Structure 1
Amino acid sequence: MLLWIAFSLMTGAAILAVLWPLRTGAAVPAASTAEADLAVYRDQLAEIERDRASGLIAPAEGEAARTEVARRILRVSAERGREGASSGDDRRRRIVAVVALLGVPLLAGGLYLSLGSPLTPPQPLAQRLEAQPDPSDIAILIRKVESHLEANPNDGRGYEVVAPIYARIGRLDDAARAWANAIRLLGPNAQRETGLGEALTARAGGVVTGEAKSAFQAALAADPNDPKAQYFLGLAAEQDGQTAEAAQRWSALVAASPPDAPWLGLVGAALTRIGAPVPAPASGPGAADVAAAQSLTPEQRDAMVRGMVERLEARLAQEGGDIEGWLRLMRAWTVLGQQDKAKTAAGQARTHFASDSGALGRIDALAQELGLGS
Structure 2
Amino acid sequence: MNPFSLFAIICTLMVVITLAALIWPLLRGRSQAGDIRRARYALHDTILAELDEDLRYGRLSESDHAIARIEAESRLINEVGHASSTLNERSARGLVIGLLLILPLAAGGLYFKLGTPTALDLSTRQRPNVGPNEIAAMVKKLEARMVLEPNDQKGWLMLARSYRSQARYTEAISAYEKAWPAIEKDAGEIARFAGVLAIEQKSFKGKPTDLLVKSLSVNASEPDALMLAGSAAVERGDKAAAKEWWNKLLILLEVGSEDEQWLKEEIRLLDKPRDAVK
With the shorter chain as reference, the TM-score category is: 0.3 to 0.5
Q: Which is greater in Rg?
A: 1
The normalised TM-score by structure 1 is 0.35
Higher helix proportion, which one?
2
